[in-house]
Amino acid sequence: MKIDTDVLVVGGGIVGAGIFRDLALHGVNVLLVEQNSFGSQTSSRSSKMLHGGLRYLETFEFSLVREALKEKNLWKELAPNLCREEQFFLPIYKDSKYPLFMTGIALAIYDLLSSFRNKPFKIIGKTEALKRMPSLNPIGLKGCGIYHDVVVDDEALTTGIISSATKTCKKASAKEFHSLVSLSKTKTGLSAIIKQMHTGENISVSAKEVVIAVGPFLDHLMHQLNFVPWEDKLLPSKGIHIWLKRDTLNIEHPAVLQSADGRVIFVIPYPDKILIGTTEDPVSWPYQDIKATDDEIEYLLSNIKEYFTGDNISAKSILSTYAGVRPLVAEGGGSDRGKTSREHMVFMPTHNVHAIAGGKLTTFRTMGQSISKTIVERMGLIYSQRKTILPL
């Protein structure tokens, strides 16, 4: 079997989906392939938020926060069935890294960077904080900052973006369970072999351009293809999450906690359960379907016990767990995942192969626009950034 296409996009996570939709909306003949089900790895194993990244203000990444806030508020409008705005509570204690007044300054900057599209922040004292979040540990509590971000169904957003492209664009097609196994140059472009994972059938694909958007699998895939010499680009970071029974904590709104070792922990209540998660753990290959370890689960539980009261906080309250790998781009040999930038990077090992890594779930739409623009214009078409702000 042989397929001719203008563009082959490899990777059916949120970034690959965004680039696929962008190209499809511009009338490009584009094929998307994913070796598992769409959105089954990192893009469904996040903390399930679209957010500006309040903590990135600490490292002065104002442009990243501004872009993420813009995207967060955009997707709240484009996909209201998948995104819901929530009040996030930021409890401040006597020994917190930043006092309540500095928290207020940070939240004011956060709202400013949103061009005041965020609902206004608030600072409340201890009494009001305990009234609104009764499970909080009262010892040493000074109050809470309250700001607004969005909770999202990450996997449904990924699959919805792909589905919207294939249903509205005749030249767009997408295949799950198809893996890229080889890539080579030809006189007219590129030749790829993709493998149907269930049947083992090899399919030949002829393309003018190839986009590789496989997230944390980028380095491994590039070495495996042996298409060009490749040096590792990533500093992978493991995120761990647990689902707790709904009656474990008496909270109605998400909370953002600071652990003693400087990590951020999110606590997000749902109608029937509570999600708790954090990132920044080192991780080693293989990344496929990784799990949260017993030590990592205990780490989350012990931190929750410091911030909340109640006898229900134990391993018995866990419904399930999951983990994912974030494809952070290594910077100058640094190994501190907490301080590694969330900016994305695009690599071009040849003029018609585009590889992308890094970034945040929130900014997926804009991450690939430079790639899309280059390809669209090479096809002799006019590129418009506004095409992707159409509702799903």
pLDDT digits (tens, 9 = 90+) for 273-305: 999 999 777 888 888 878 999 999 999 999 999
Q: Is residue 181 domain-shared with residue 307, that is, in the same domain? A: no
Within a 13 Å sphere around the CA of 111, how many CA atoms are in the beta-carbon half? Answer: 15
Q: Do 241 and 317 belong together in one domain?
A: yes
- CATH code where residue 99 lies: 3.30.9.10
139 inside domain: yes
Are residues 261 and 304 located together in one domain of the fold? yes
Q: Is 167 found in the same domain as 273?
A: no
Beta bridge partners of 242: 276, 321
Residues 188-228 have pLDDT tens digits of 899 999 999 999 999 999 999 999 999 999 999 999 999 99
Q: Are residues 227 and 307 in the same domain?
A: no
- Same domain, residue pair 240 and 319: yes
Q: What is the mean pLDDT of residues 339-346?
A: 74
Do residues 222 and 180 share a domain? yes
Of all residues in the chain, what percent carry a pLDDT higher than 70?
Answer: 97
pTM confidence score: 0.94
Among 293, 326, 359, the domain-final residue is 326
How confident is the model at residue 279, as a pLDDT?
76
* Domain contains 58: no
Domain containing 24: what range?
2-43+155-231+338-389
221 sits in which H/E element:
helix 218-225
Does any domain span residue 179?
Answer: yes
338 has pLDDT over 70: no
CA distance 335 to 342: 14
Assess if residue 14 is contained within a domain: yes
pLDDT in tens, 252-265: 999 999 998 889 99
Q: What confidence tens digit (pLDDT) does each residue in 116-153 have?
A: 999 999 999 999 999 999 999 999 999 999 999 999 99
Average of per-residue pLDDT values in the chain: 93
Same domain, 107 and 140: yes
Query: Could you tell me if 242 and 309 lie in one domain?
Result: yes
> Do 263 and 289 fall into the same domain?
yes
Q: What pLDDT does 284 receive?
A: 82
What per-residue confidence (pLDDT) applies to 281? 76
- My answer on whether 103 and 211 are in the same domain is no
pLDDT of residue 285: 83
| Contact residues for 145 (Cβ-Cβ < 8 A; gap 6+) | 89, 90, 92, 100, 103, 104, 106, 107, 121, 122, 123
Name the more confident of 286 and 331.
286
Residue 368 exposure: Cα atoms within 13 Å on the Cβ side: 31
Domain boundary, last residue among 326, 360, 381: 326
User: Cα(15)–Cα(282) distance, rounded to whole angstroms?
Assistant: 22
Residue 332 has pLDDT above 70, yes or no: no
Q: What percent of the chain has pLDDT over 90?
A: 86
Flag whether 375 is in a domain.
yes
Tokens of 106: 């940070």
Q: Is residue 65 part of a domain?
A: no
Q: Please report, as a single letter, which amino acid is at residue 174.
A: A
Model confidence over 240-250: pLDDT tens digits? 999 999 999 99
Cβ contact 363:254 at 8 Å: no
Q: Is residue 332 part of a domain?
A: no
What was the pLDDT predicted at 152? 97
Size of the chain, expressed as the number of residues it contains: 392
pLDDT at 288: 80
Asked if residue 138 and residue 15 are part of one domain, the reply reads no
pLDDT of residue 310: 81
Asked whether residue 68 is domain-assigned, the answer is: no
Please report, for the domain that includes residue 167, its CATH number: 3.50.50.60
**What does the angle CA 254 – CA 256 – CA 258 come to, to the nearest 5 degrees?**
160
**Number of separate domains in the chain:** 2
At 342, the pLDDT band (50, 70, 90 cuts) reads low
Q: Which of 301, 326, 351 is the C-terminal boundary of a domain? A: 326
How far is the C-alpha of 99 from the C-alpha of 327, rounded, in Å?
32
pLDDT digits (tens, 9 = 90+) for 32-42: 999 999 999 99
Q: Write phi, then psi, for 108 (nearest 5 degrees).
A: -65, -40
